[in-house]
Chains A and B, each alone.
Chain A
Amino acid sequence: MTMADIICPICNRVNESSAIRCWYCQAILVKNQPTGSENDAGEYSDMRQAGTVNKSEPASESGKNEEIPEWLARIRQLEKEKREKSQGVNPFINGESPKDENSDWLSALRLEEESESDFGAQEPERESSPLSESESLTSENLPEQSSTKKDEEVSDALDSLLAELGIGTSNSLDELVDSVTVAETAAENSEQVESDFLERLDFGERNESEKPTEQFIPGSILSEEITDISKKSDSPPRSSREEETIISSPEPSEPINEPEPEFDFRSISQLESNNEPAGKNDSDFENEPESNTDTESAREEQSQELPTLESSGIIPPGTDGSRPVSFEDDDLPEWLSLEEPVSAKKSDARKIEPAPIVEPDLSKLERAHLPAWLHAIRPVEAVTPLQPAPEPTKENEKTADQGILAGIEGVLRSADLTGQVKKPPVYSSGIEVNDRQRQNVALYKTLLESADLEEIVGVTQKTPPKSSFILKIVVTLALLAAVLLPFFSYMPFVVSPVLFPAEVINTFSEIQNLPSDKPVLLAAHFEASLAGEMKWISMAVIEHLMTRNIPMTVMSTNAIGYAVLEEEIRDISSIETNYSVDDQVVNLGYLPGGTLGILSLTRDLHQALPYTTNIQPAWDQKVLIGINQLSDFGAVIVFTDNADIVKTWVEQVGTSADVPPILAVLSAQAAPMTQPYYDSGQIKGFVAGMNGSQSYEQIMQRPYHSTLAFGSFQSTLLITALIIFIGGAVSLILSSGAGMKKGAGK
């Protein structure tokens, strides 16, 4: 080692001065780092002093011999001589591909891979799996024939690849082996260094668990390949067992030719945490193939000892066994490097007593080094807590049958939110105003500015003028006078009607022709406010029924109708003493349902009106015996103040095939809208208002309330007509005067 060489602070190996990264572990090298004993400062000095390899000698004295094995020095010397012969200049430094014959093997391999020979056909998953690709490079799978030309092509391709990766100069076959291994690993990881980091680790772990005997050991495999290639040109093909032992001296060739021991981080962690030797690892060491007989005794001793992290090459020598593996920030993804303090804490949390350090026979053991593939996967186990992978549940094993994840297994089921998801309402952040609205706003603003608000408020708060109050009193007094005067004086201007309305005459005729043995259904529906009018109007009709001794059945389609009507019947019965209300009148009460209730009368009369107002069975009454349907009544007389009730009765009952005649006793306000049903013959007659009632009384020749109050009625209507006429005229004059003032003002 020269003074310009740089010792890797991680693996403690010697690198050339031009190297940026360590050829062995890919750690970043410090250029001005002192060599030899100068480098033994701080943590690394302690590590080296505590290491098993350098424990016999002081770290300050271990400069050259302990770092470079003998076999490696010999190989480097051979390589150096060859390079001096061929070029004399380091091709890696100049960026040129070396024309070494030994490097042509890679090109040959690539050519064969591209030609998709039988060898390639045996490994269909080579491109997708790095494990399979590496397995295809073993000496057992290499083709038997290889020419010098192919070797040169392989060497060129390898050199170009190394140059692209910027690995640096390879001075020996061992370095070349490591560089190629690193280059392959770096090439595979170059595209997905960060994203596939965890995936690679997981992949390696799964492979170890599934195929414990088929481990991916790039270092050993490539060393076998290179050895095989280097011998192919000189000697006939040999068995792989012979090729493993041919190239190097016994002791130093051991870590290269032998498969690397299988390191399971999980088992190591468990080993550390349990602080007891793992039998599994012992057995793994026992099962290792032994290629070198000289190291067999040491191997036996080692196999019985517990492999530590240092002896396994996972951590640099000299570090504590319980200490987590440290990482270079450049090797970590950005996100992982940021999380390093947290992970370090977690690692400390998991830290327990260190595994007992077994003292091996250091004189016979070559210091282990961290393989590149192991280096590539090392960080995650150290910085992240070991959490067992969640076992797939049945739910996770389900395959998505729809959506963008259709066909993918293990898709987590999400809640079905399709029914709950609604399009959110869109609220405008601003107010959209069109031109018309702007004009209205401007007009309103102008009105507010021009108007005197106090004046407006004063107008609204003003009490009505006395003139309006006086006017109201005058109108009231006039009406009261028109009502009251006829009561106290028989005014001669009362004109009784001579011509009777046809509907009144028809009503009288219908009632007059009713059979006396059939009851009449009196259906009431009027409000309490018009009960007085209805009482006067209906008095003549009811008395007519009483004089004919016709039984009556009372019901109503509103709550108060039947009560008012029954009271009136009892009042009239005081006049018509021959009529017994208790025997001839049955009150069926309130029929609910409105239109449906009226329709139910035509469907099932007994079901529609089952009880009387006294909660007695209705159809057991003497009056209603033999009445099973609506047509069994002599007539249906509707007492109402609403024309729609008449219309409903006509529509629901009048359309039936067998229906009794429908008559109506109406308030004056219902007469106009009922007239068409009489003209069309759908009702047989009706008596409406004071006019109709007075006519009916005249026909019966029994003056009752309508006749006695008819003078008041006529005078009131006359006064009302005069008031309307005068009011209209005054309003017309005032409006025309205001219009003339406006015209004069303009």
Chain B
Amino acid sequence: MTAELIWTFVSFILTVLVFSYLLGDNPLFKFVSALFVGISAGYFAVVIIYQVILARLVAPLLQGSLISLIPLVLSGLLLLKLSPRLSRAGDISMAVLVGVGAAVAAGGAVLGTLFGQMEGAISYFGAQPNGTPTTFYRVVEGIFFLIGTLAALAYFHFGARRKKQGEQRQPLLVRIFAWVGKIFIAITLGAVFAGVLTAGMTALIERSDFLIQTILSVIK
């Protein structure tokens, strides 16, 4: 019995145990869940030690890289978060992580997503990215995208004017766009849900195929 066959058998058993959840929550499913969590934690620890600490902290220090002392100090301060009395010392590391991360994410969002999507929306009314001239279909598609974008933004606009009777109502145009935007948002969320469902069905098919192929291989 080869190692591959052993691991195939283990995978088969574990897959069946997971499918046992169809009959309700049971100890077998809980066992598999606990096993998965434990294996994941151990695997992550090994990866962190070998791929991060040794490769990116210890090795540079042994090579005389003084700049590696900075992450060493910050890591040490971050470990102080475990102590309630000294947890404030770890705020420095947290501040660096959160501050730098937020700055990088904000800059990328503006330059990569906001400007990129604006440029992409405009491209429907002009030349295509590959340089070919636009077509009527692209213009209509661009108009459709533009209406959908404005309608979705109008749906999230909650401002209203106070009228003489004291009633607060949004302008008629905003209400119309908000109603249209609600449809676009529903379609988008439906598409996301369909994608998630499709991914789940694909996983089910892949596991079912694995079981069938394993059984067939055993039978043969």
Question: Least Cβ distance of B184 to chain A in Å?
Answer: 12
Q: Decide yes or no: A533 and B206 within 8 Å by CB, A669-B196, A689-B199 being known contacts.
A: yes
Which residues does chain A contribute within 8 Å of B129, judged by CB atoms? 680-681
- Does A615 have its Cβ within 8 Å of any Cβ on chain B? yes
| Cα of A670 to Cα of B59 in the assembled complex, Å | 37
Which residues does chain B contribute within 8 Å of A716, judged by CB atoms? 201, 204-205
| Cα of A690 to Cα of B194 in the assembled complex, Å | 13
Which residues does chain B contribute within 8 Å of A651, judged by CB atoms? 105, 108-109, 111-113
- Does B87 have its Cβ within 8 Å of any Cβ on chain A? no
- Does A120 have its Cβ within 8 Å of any Cβ on chain B? no
Which of B77-85, B117-125, B164-172 lies on the face that meets chain A? B117-125
Question: Least Cβ distance of A599 to chain B in Å?
Answer: 6
Binary contact readout A673-707 vs B (1 if CB under 8 angstroms, 0 otherwise): 10011011110000001100000000000000100
Which residues does chain B contribute within 8 Å of A535, judged by CB atoms? 206
In the complex, how many residues of chain A place their beta carbon closer than 8 angstroms to a beta carbon of chain B?
Answer: 59
Of the candidates B22, B52, B105, B199, the one whose C-beta lies within 8 Å of that of A533 is B199
- Does A641 have its Cβ within 8 Å of any Cβ on chain B? yes
Of the candidates A483, A611, A641, A679, the one whose C-beta lies within 8 Å of that of B120 is A679
Q: Decide yes or no: A680 and B116 within 8 Å by CB, A652-B104, A709-B205 being known contacts.
A: yes
Which of A97-105, A110-118, A294-302, A589-597 lies on the face that meets chain B? A589-597
- Does B50 have its Cβ within 8 Å of any Cβ on chain A? yes
- Does A181 have its Cβ within 8 Å of any Cβ on chain B? no
Question: Least Cβ distance of A657 to chain B in Å?
Answer: 12
The reply to whether B105 and A690 contact each other, CB–CB distance below 8 Å, is no
- Does B26 have its Cβ within 8 Å of any Cβ on chain A? no
Q: Decide yes or no: A672 and B205 within 8 Å by CB, A599-B104, A648-B108 being known contacts.
A: no
- Does A441 have its Cβ within 8 Å of any Cβ on chain B? no
| Cα of A533 to Cα of B202 in the assembled complex, Å | 6
- Does A647 have its Cβ within 8 Å of any Cβ on chain B? yes
Which residues does chain B contribute within 8 Å of A357, judged by CB atoms? none
Q: Decide yes or no: A613 and B101 within 8 Å by CB, A651-B111, A668-B195 being known contacts.
A: no
The reply to whether B51 and A532 contact each other, CB–CB distance below 8 Å, is no
Which residues does chain A contribute within 8 Å of B196, judged by CB atoms? 668-669
Binary contact readout A349-361 vs B (1 if CB under 8 angstroms, 0 otherwise): 0000000000000
The reply to whether A484 and B202 contact each other, CB–CB distance below 8 Å, is no
Closest to B209 in A: A709
Which residues does chain A contribute within 8 Å of B101, judged by CB atoms? 594-596
| Cα of A38 to Cα of B196 in the assembled complex, Å | 121
- Does A479 have its Cβ within 8 Å of any Cβ on chain B? yes
Q: Decide yes or no: A672 and B195 within 8 Å by CB, A533-B206, A651-B111, A712-B208 being known contacts.
A: yes
Closest to B119 in A: A680
- Does B192 have its Cβ within 8 Å of any Cβ on chain A? yes
The reply to whether A595 and B22 contact each other, CB–CB distance below 8 Å, is no
The reply to whether A682 and B47 contact each other, CB–CB distance below 8 Å, is no
Closest to B211 in A: A484
Which residues between 31 and 72 of chain B lie within 8 Å of chain A, taking CB atoms?
A: 40, 43-44, 47-48, 50-52, 54-56, 59
Closest to A488 in B: B212
Question: Would you call the interface of chain A mostly helix, strand, loop, or mixed?
Answer: helix
Which residues does chain A contribute within 8 Å of B121, judged by CB atoms? 680
The reply to whether A532 and B112 contact each other, CB–CB distance below 8 Å, is no
Question: Least Cβ distance of B117 to chain A in Å?
Answer: 6
Which residues between 149 and 199 of chain B lie within 8 Å of chain A, taking CB atoms?
A: 188, 191-192, 194-199
The reply to whether A672 and B188 contact each other, CB–CB distance below 8 Å, is yes
Of the candidates B56, B109, B123, the one whose C-beta lies within 8 Å of that of A681 is B123
- Does B100 have its Cβ within 8 Å of any Cβ on chain A? yes
Q: Decide yes or no: A669 and B55 within 8 Å by CB, A487-B212, A677-B116, A680-B123 being known contacts.
A: no
Question: Least Cβ distance of B97 to chain A in Å?
Answer: 9
- Does B203 have its Cβ within 8 Å of any Cβ on chain A? yes
| Cα of A594 to Cα of B50 in the assembled complex, Å | 18
The reply to whether B55 and A680 contact each other, CB–CB distance below 8 Å, is no
The reply to whether A690 and B198 contact each other, CB–CB distance below 8 Å, is yes
Q: Decide yes or no: A652 and B204 within 8 Å by CB, A592-B51, A676-B117, A681-B129 being known contacts.
A: no
Which residues between 615 and 665 of chain A lie within 8 Å of chain B, taking CB atoms?
A: 615, 641, 647-648, 650-652, 654-655
Binary contact readout A588-610 vs B (1 if CB under 8 angstroms, 0 otherwise): 01101011100100000000001
The reply to whether A641 and B199 contact each other, CB–CB distance below 8 Å, is yes
- Does A559 have its Cβ within 8 Å of any Cβ on chain B? yes
Which residues does chain A contribute within 8 Å of B199, judged by CB atoms? 530, 533, 641, 667-669, 689
The reply to whether A559 and B47 contact each other, CB–CB distance below 8 Å, is yes
Of the candidates B22, B198, B203, the one whose C-beta lies within 8 Å of that of A529 is B203
The reply to whether A672 and B191 contact each other, CB–CB distance below 8 Å, is yes
Which residues does chain A contribute within 8 Å of B24, judged by CB atoms? 469
Closest 6 CB pairs of A and B: A680-B120, A651-B112, A651-B108, A532-B206, A681-B129, A668-B198
Known: A560-B43, A647-B113, A712-B205. 10 other contacts (CB 8 A): A530-B199, A559-B44, A589-B47, A589-B51, A595-B104, A596-B100, A599-B108, A611-B59, A651-B111, A716-B201
Binding site for B on A (CB under 8 A): 469, 472-473, 476, 479-480, 483-484, 487, 528-530, 532-533, 535-536, 559-560, 589-590, 592, 594-596, 599, 610-611, 613, 615, 641, 647-648, 650-652, 654-655, 667-673, 676-677, 679-682, 689-690, 705, 709, 712-713, 716-717, 720
6 A-B interface contacts by CB (under 8 A): A532-B207, A650-B112, A652-B104, A655-B116, A716-B205, A720-B197
